[in-house]
């Protein structure tokens, strides 16, 4: 990447955003971060805070005058700001929909005003209740009823994707959509229902490791460094514009096996306890039984191959919490 650019990262004090910000500064770019610190933390940005090429704006992406000024001065926008975490979404449905829908609409409208390239971070949640195969970008979505708040996040991110592609088709705005599958690693907290940090923290503290449901549901986990590599390379690839890419690891593991692995790797005596979803999230909660990406498309375009296997991922999270 020879070109040095001015880059905006929305949600840049968050778990993924802070790792992305570090990488962009390493690559020589000047980075502007906007974050309202709802789920982001200033401590995530310690490594870059003294860099002359780093600028932090503590504000919301819904503040149009601030966003207008930022988007005018940058070349590229990585839009990661969103309400995240199942628990957060169940507890704060209005804020979730507000930030995820209005926030993205603001980013796209202002990016179009100045014709600035945007990468939208989307989510594997938008596939809904698929179980029969690994998930490809063009698969149909299988959603639950609107009466189940669990699907609000998935639907808000679906609308973001529709809007981004509409801007690409109608206004010729250069956009790229990255659908992230369970990104994990250092700095992710378990506070909003994130499974791996919760397991690791419980194991290290010798507290019960809590598995929701029967634990036979599978997930695939991707290390944040692999995800950041994918995002920065997608942004630099002109052929990615106007398209959607799964960003994930195509090796899946049951939540029961994940809990056992965490227990073993931490040398913990913690019991593994199963709790019904209703108890954690209220009556009628639905979960996805399986979520594993097909990553052929991104592999063929930019050579993406996750470098961290599940053991290395778990170890990086253990090391982080031990620090």
pLDDT band at residue 93 under the 50/70/90 scheme: confident
Q: State the pTM of this model.
A: 0.93
Average pLDDT over residues 102-113: 97
Rg (CA), the chain: 19
pLDDT at 91: 81
pLDDT at 127: 85
pLDDT at 189: 82
Q: How far apart are CA 112 and CA 77, in angstroms?
A: 11
Q: Please say if the pLDDT value at position 4 is more than 70.
A: yes
Q: How far apart are CA 314 and CA 253, in angstroms?
A: 12
Give the percent of the chain with pLDDT over 70: 95
Q: Please say if the pLDDT value at position 239 is more than 60.
A: yes
Name 313's Cβ contacts closer than 8 Å, sequence gap at least 6: 184, 185, 196, 221, 222, 223
pLDDT at 80: 97
DSSP helix/strand/coil, 222: strand
Q: Please say if the pLDDT value at position 103 is more than 50.
A: yes
Kindly report the three-state secondary structure assignment for every residue of 110-122.
HHHHHCCEEEEEE
Q: Which residues are catalytic?
A: 153
Mean residue pLDDT of the chain comes to 92
Cβ 9 vs Cβ 21: under 8 Å: yes
Q: Please say if the pLDDT value at position 1 is more than 60.
A: no
Q: How far apart are CA 221 and CA 250, in angstroms?
A: 8
Domains of the chain listed by start with CATH number: 6-184+222-250+291-307 (3.40.50.720)
Cβ 274 vs Cβ 222: under 8 Å: no
Q: What is the pLDDT of residues 12-24, one digit of tens each?
A: 999 999 999 999 9
Q: What is the pLDDT of residues 118-161, one digit of tens each?
A: 999 999 988 887 766 788 888 888 878 888 777 888 888 999 99
pLDDT band at residue 274 under the 50/70/90 scheme: very high
């Amino acid at each position: 990447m020879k070109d040095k650019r001015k880059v905006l990262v929305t949600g840049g004090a968050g778990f993924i955003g802070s790792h992305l910000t570090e990488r962009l500064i390493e690559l020589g770019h000047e980075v502007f971060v906007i974050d309202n610190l709802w789920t982001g933390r200033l401590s995530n940005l310690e490594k870059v805070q003294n860099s002359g090429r780093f600028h932090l704006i503590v504000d919301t992406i819904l503040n149009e005058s601030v966003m207008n000024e930022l988007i005018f001065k940058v070349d590229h926008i990585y839009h990661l700001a969103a309400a995240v975490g199942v628990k957060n979404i169940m507890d704060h449905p209005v804020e979730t929909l507000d930030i995820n829908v209005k926030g993205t609409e603001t980013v796209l409208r202002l990016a179009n005003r100045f014709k600035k390239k945007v990468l939208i971070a989307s989510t594997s949640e938008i596939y809904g209740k698929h179980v029969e195969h690994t998930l490809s970008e063009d698969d149909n979505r299988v959603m639950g009823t609107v009466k189940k708040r669990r699907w609000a996040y998935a639907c808000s991110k679906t609308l973001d994707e529709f809007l981004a592609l509409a801007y690409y088709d109608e206004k010729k705005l250069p956009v790229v959509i990255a659908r992230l599958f369970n990104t994990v690693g250092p700095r992710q907290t378990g506070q909003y229902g994130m499974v791996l940090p919760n397991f690791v923290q419980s194991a290290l503290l010798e507290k019960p490791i809590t598995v929701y449901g029967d634990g036979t549901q599978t997930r695939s986990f991707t290390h944040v460094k692999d995800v950041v590599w994918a995002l920065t390379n997608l942004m630099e690839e002109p052929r990615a514009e106007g398209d959607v890419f799964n960003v994930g690891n195509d090796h899946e593991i049951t939540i029961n096996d994940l809990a056992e692995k965490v227990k073993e790797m931490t040398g913990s005596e913690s019991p593994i306890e199963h709790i019904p979803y209703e108890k954690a999230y209220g009556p009628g909660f639905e979960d996805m039984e399986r979520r594993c990406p097909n990553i052929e498309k991104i592999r063929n375009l930019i050579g993406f191959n996750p470098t961290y296997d599940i053991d290395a991922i778990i170890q990086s999270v253990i090391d982080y919490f031990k620090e």
